[in-house]
Amino acid sequence: MRFDTILFDLDGTLTDSAPGITGSVRYALTTMGKPVPDDLTCFVGPPLKYSFMTFTGMDEDEAQMAIQHYVSRYIDEGGMFENSVYDGIIDMLARLKAAGIRSVIATSKHEPIAVRIADRFGLSPYLDGVYGSDRDAGRTEKADVIRYALDGMGITDSSRPLMVGDRDYDSKGAHDVGIACMGILWGYGSREEFAACGTEYIVSTPNEAADLILDRALRVKS
């Protein structure tokens, strides 16, 4: 395959957003009087409704209430900025941009929040777009966001884009849409979960990711 457009997950892939996410999840569960699991990193990446229902056993109504509490801390109190860019990410994005490879964010995070994070942490100059979820528009699953991003970039050839993410959720979403995925190991996923869902490429560092992408790049004509 020869790639000209890279779709990056945000949480756990470009930024280490766990402190803000897990702190906000803990706040939501505590506020609702629910038990707080010892490890909340499973909440980094997947949609919140799915995570609250899957990892805490909430029903749909409880999950919606938990999301409201989560949002009050994550957005209103600045939890979204309890975040940091992984080492090597800016260099990776700069290498891709210099080579004429388009990079966009495709995240399950609500799109306006993703835009604010990309701006705040200096990612935006290297990106050609930020695409996120929108429950009102029916974009709740990773595959929905990926389709939205591909439509936004005008891509119809499924051999041209590559999804890059840190969880099997990213890989499954990519495969549902018919595109390849690169699993990265500096986030919250594992080699085993990527192998189990047939992820095409698995890399350990941002530099290794850039090397592989550039080796298989189909450069866009300016």
Same domain, 107 and 210: yes
Beta bridge partners of 103: 6
How large is the C-alpha radius of gyration of the chain?
A: 17
49 burial via Cβ count (<10 Å: 0-12, 13-18, 19+): middle
Query: Measuring CA to CA, which residue among 1, 64, 54 is closest to residue 28?
Result: 64
Beta strands at 15-16 and 102-110: parallel, antiparallel or unpaired: unpaired
Percent composition of the chain: helix, strand, coil (DSSP 3-state, to 5): 50, 20, 35
Q: Give the phi and the psi of residue 37 in degrees, each rounded to 5.
A: -60, 150
pLDDT score at 2: 80
pLDDT score at 221: 37
- Choosing from 4, 9, 11, 144, which is the catalytic residue? 9
CA distance linking residue 200 with residue 108, whole number of Å: 21
pLDDT score at 15: 97
**Residues of the domain holding 145:** 5-16+83-215
Active site residue 9: yes
pLDDT score at 216: 82
Mean pLDDT, contiguous 10-residue spans, the chain (222 residues): 91 95 96 94 86 94 96 92 97 97 95 96 98 89 96 95 96 97 95 95 97 76 34
Same domain, 12 and 22: no
Quote the pTM value: 0.88
Overall domain count for the chain: 2
Same domain, 149 and 179: yes
